[in-house]
Amino acid sequence: MGQVAALLAERRKRLSLRRLANEVGISKSAVDGLVQAYHQLRDMPQPHANWQKLKDWYLREKYAQAGALNEPVDMAILALEMLAEIPEADRRDALREMAGAMAEIYDRRGVRRPAWLARLSRAVDGAPAENG
């Protein structure tokens, strides 16, 4: 959620709250709450009802800005989308398996593993996965 809030806060510098909320497809108060939380003016809200819209917007914006999704958080969001049908209690293990399978694919083909894969693997082993 922190990366999403950071991108919202960065975009908020250039857009009105209303325009940014319309772009994401959520309420102005939800956007404002996330921006305030990013600036540590309040606790990070848990926008369960908005999480899918926030993820979709975040990935779309990140891809448009960078032309690729290379950050571990980006890959984690995509992987969790692919594993959405797996029960939540098993999702962390499934994500670990997916990262391991990706590593094997790169290794078998003699291609250097991308940096995001190592960071994603460490994150899965050490920090709670973001659930959608």
Same domain, 58 and 27: yes
Same domain, 90 and 120: yes
pTM above 0.95, yes or no: no
Whether residue 37 lies inside any domain: the answer is: yes
- Over residues 53-107, the pLDDT tens digits come to 998 898 888 888 777 777 777 887 888 888 889 998 998 899 899 999 999 999 9
Same domain, 89 and 36: no
Whether residue 132 lies inside any domain: the answer is: no
Is the separation of the CB atoms in 10 and 35 below 8 Å? no
Is the separation of the CB atoms in 34 and 57 below 8 Å? no
Give the number of other CB atoms < 10 A from CB of residue 41: 10
Whether residue 54 lies inside any domain: the answer is: yes
Same domain, 14 and 61: yes
Report how far residue 130's alpha carbon sits from residue 119's, in angstroms, rounded to the nearest whole number. Answer: 15
Residue ranges making up the domain that contains 10: 2-66
Whether residue 29 lies inside any domain: the answer is: yes
